[in-house]
Amino acid sequence: MKEIITSSKFEDKQKLASVGSRILAFLIDFFIFWILTLILGMFFGEPLENEIGLSFNGLPVLGVILFAFLLWPISEGITGQTIGKRILSIKVINKEYRPIGIGPAFGRFFFGIFDLMSLIGIIIALINKKNQRIGDIVACTIVVNTKNPS
Instruction: Please tell me the pTM assigned to this model.
Output: 0.81
Find, among 39, 81, 91, the residue nearest to 63 by Cα.
39
137 CB burial (10 A radius; 0-12, 13-18, 19+): middle
Task: Give the pLDDT confidence of 10-59 residue by residue, as tens digits.
Answer: 554 569 999 999 999 999 999 999 998 888 888 888 888 777 777 878 88
Between 2 and 55, the higher pLDDT residue: 55
Q: What is the pLDDT of residue 54?
A: 76
Helical residues (DSSP H) of the chain, grouped into ranges:
7-13, 19-44, 59-69, 75-79, 83-87, 102-118, 120-127, 134-139
Secondary structure letter of residue 130 according to DSSP:
T
Task: Give the pLDDT confidence of 55-105 residue by residue, as tens digits.
Answer: 878 888 888 888 899 889 999 999 999 999 999 999 999 988 898 999 999
